[in-house]
């Protein structure tokens, strides 16, 4: 696979020192920057997909006329969470 470069980024020297202080053992500044860019790209893609699912859900609800009360949904989720916690806390048989 052919590689490409990402444009260099100008930062003030204090920020560069701050970044260098958080580098992992044997981690280069280039590796850190690549990891940060990859994480940012992944986060933006996930955010975009989340928004698309939300908009599709809204369109589906408008089309079907079926809506759910947020308070009721939260109540049911709390019940599921409580049940899961109780099951986890009970000793294995």
What's 22's DSSP letter? T
**Residue 91 banded pLDDT, cuts 50, 70, 90:** confident
**Alpha-helix runs per DSSP H in 1-93:** 13-21, 29-64, 70-89
| Residue-wise pLDDT tens digits, 60-89 | 999 999 999 999 999 999 999 999 999 999
| Residue-wise pLDDT tens digits, 37-64 | 999 999 999 999 999 999 999 999 999 9
Distance CA 75, CA 1 (A): 51
**Domain residue spans in the chain?**
13-89
Contacts of 25 (CB under 8 A, 6+ apart): none
Distance CA 84, CA 89 (A): 9
* Cβ 29 vs Cβ 20: under 8 Å: yes
């Amino acid at each position: 696979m052919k590689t490409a470069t990402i444009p260099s980024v100008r930062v003030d020297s204090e920020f560069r020192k701050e970044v260098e202080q958080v580098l992992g053992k044997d981690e280069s500044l280039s590796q850190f920057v690549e990891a940060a860019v990859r994480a940012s790209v992944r986060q933006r893609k996930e955010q975009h997909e989340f928004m698309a699912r939300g908009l599709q859900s809204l369109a589906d609800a408008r089309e079907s006329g079926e809506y759910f009360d947020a308070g009721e949904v939260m109540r049911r989720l709390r019940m599921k969470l409580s049940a899961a916690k109780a099951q986890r806390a009970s000793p294995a048989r």
